[in-house]
């Protein structure tokens, strides 16, 4: 996975092997100088697919702690309700 732009130390814009844009959350993914190839994807906690400028702008304006909490809540709800709440997040 190619990390192409830092949003903050824990969030970055990335490009998948097929060329699609992604927003990735993970400890330190935005820390190294960009662009760089992320070899070990075990640090990735959440990936948002089908990213456009509107999503990127929204994500970059949200504090990482708030976004991480929202993702945890969504994951807990999906597990509790036994359903897929959002197909763009994995």
Q: What is the pLDDT of residue 86?
A: 61
| pLDDT higher than 90, residue 37 | yes
pTM over 0.85: no
CATH assignment of the domain containing 10: 2.30.24.10
Residues contacting 78, CB < 8 A, separation 6+: 84, 85
Quickly count: other Cβ atoms within 10 Å of residue 34's Cβ. Answer: 15
Q: Does residue 87 sit within a domain?
A: no
84 against 2, higher pLDDT: 2
Question: For residue 31, what are the domain limits?
Answer: 2-81
Cα distance between residue 6 and residue 26, in whole Å: 12
Helix boundaries (H) for 23-86: 53-60, 64-81
Q: Does residue 26 sit within a domain?
A: yes
Q: Does residue 73 sit within a domain?
A: yes
Q: How many domains does the chain have?
A: 1
């Amino acid at each position: 996975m190619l990390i192409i732009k830092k949003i903050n130390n824990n969030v970055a814009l990335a490009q998948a092997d097929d060329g699609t844009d992604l927003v990735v959350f993970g400890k330190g993914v935005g820390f190294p100088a960009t662009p760089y190839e992320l070899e070990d994807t075990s640090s990735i906690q959440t990936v948002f697919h089908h990213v456009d400028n509107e999503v990127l702008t929204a994500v970059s304006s949200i504090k990482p702690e708030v976004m991480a909490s929202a993702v945890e809540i969504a994951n807990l709800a999906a597990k509790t309700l036994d359903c897929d709440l959002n197909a763009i997040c994995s």
